[in-house]
């Protein structure tokens, strides 16, 4: 099963499963997960090929949705689910194929559509780091800065660095091989009739008006909201506002 970090104890409310995006980990969501655990248990897994979870040659969304179903069942499910980017697609496939395991779904800045932009450049950037010369995280950030100017991304990527073992906690080769699947969305004949919030970055172009018909085919009760002043990494850019949006949606009757 996936490696999971849990915050808080099981209670009256359903558990909340937080599913990270590409190159992330459950640890990335630590602050938000801890804050949300005041009302429910929060479960933040490392997806396959990420963090401390197992590596696999298969990284398609049906595989990832199956992993998430195992986690929810192991924690007594069903659960409320938040998924960002790749994690949002995995969460959508989970809701469409195992709707009995999902109460409410929050999809952060992604749509159930294929995307044309590749993320391979970041794999190349991480591969370019001379890990033998890295003694502390700032050494890796200094090297990454030459090819990744965004400070937020530099910090984000180096959270997946095992300094002691001098290795990335990411299956970079496997993720590169499976990138076409990660960028796509599987053809699913399913529907999720529960409440769904598509929460997007106000300055992001990942969820467009032309995606809404496709979204409503899968999720007829979908609602849409934007977090002003944020891009694709909306939860990292405005964590308190993101947390408030999640709380408001989960508390709706």
Residue 99 is assigned to a structural domain of this protein: yes
From the candidates 38, 58, 150, 173, give the one annotated as an active-site residue.
173
What is the pLDDT at residue 11? 86
Q: Give the model's pLDDT for residue 252.
A: 86
Query: pTM for the full model?
Result: 0.95
pLDDT at 77: 84
pLDDT at 253: 59
pLDDT tens-place values along the chain, 253 residues long: 999 999 999 988 999 999 999 999 999 999 999 999 999 999 999 999 999 999 999 999 999 999 999 999 999 989 999 999 999 999 999 999 999 999 999 999 999 999 998 889 999 999 999 999 999 999 999 999 999 998 888 999 999 999 999 999 999 999 999 999 999 999 999 999 999 999 999 999 999 999 999 999 999 999 999 999 999 999 999 999 999 999 999 998 5
Domain finish residue from 151, 174, 197:
174
**Interacting residues of 106 by C-beta distance below 8 A, sequence separation 6+:** 80, 81, 82, 83, 196, 197, 199, 245, 246, 249, 250
In this structure, the answer to whether residues 89 and 213 fall within a common structural domain is yes
> What pLDDT was estimated at residue 12?
86
117 is catalytic: no
Instruction: Answer yes or no: is 179 within a domain.
Output: no
106 and 202 both lie in a single domain: yes
Q: Are residue 170 and residue 49 in the same domain, yes or no?
A: no
The total number of structural domains that make up the chain:
2
Q: Which domain holds residue 103?
A: 4-115+184-250
Residue 232 falls in the annotated catalytic set: yes
Q: Establish if 83 belongs to a structural domain.
A: yes
Q: Out of 25, 37, 85, 160, which one is annotated catalytic?
A: 85
Task: Identify whether residues 35 and 107 lie together within a single domain.
Answer: yes
Both 89 and 189 in one domain: the answer is yes
Catalytic residue among 7, 59, 84, 232: 232
89 and 189 in one domain? yes
């Amino acid at each position: 099963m996936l490696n999971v970090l849990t915050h808080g104890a099981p209670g009256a409310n359903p558990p909340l499963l937080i599913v990270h995006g590409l190159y992330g980990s459950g640890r990335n969501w630590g602050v938000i997960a801890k804050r949300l655990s005041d009302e429910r248990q929060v479960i933040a897994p490392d997806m396959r090929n990420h963090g401390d979870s197992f590596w696999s040659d298969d990284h398609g969304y049906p595989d990832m949705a199956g992993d998430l179903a195992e986690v929810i069942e192991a924690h007594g499910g069903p659960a409320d689910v938040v998924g960002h980017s790749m994690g949002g697609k995995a969460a959508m496939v989970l809701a469409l194929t195992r709707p009995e395991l999902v109460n409410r779904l929050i999809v952060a800045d992604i749509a159930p559509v294929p995307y044309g932009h590749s993320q391979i450049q970041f794999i190349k950037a991480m591969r370019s780091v001379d890990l033998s010369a890295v003694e502390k995280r700032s050494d890796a950030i200094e090297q990454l800065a030459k090819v990744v100017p965004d400070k937020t991304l530099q910090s984000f990527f180096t959270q997946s660095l095992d300094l002691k073992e001098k290795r990335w906690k990411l299956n970079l080769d496997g993720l590169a091989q499976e990138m076409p699947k990660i960028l796509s969305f599987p053809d699913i004949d399913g529907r999720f009739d529960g409440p769904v919030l598509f929460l997007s970055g106000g300055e992001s172009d990942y969820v467009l008006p032309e995606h809404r018909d496709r979204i409503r085919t899968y999720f007829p009760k979908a609602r849409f909201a934007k977090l002003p002043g944020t891009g694709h990494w909306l939860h990292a850019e405005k964590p308190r506002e993101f947390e408030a949006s999640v709380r408001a949606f989960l508390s709706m009757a």
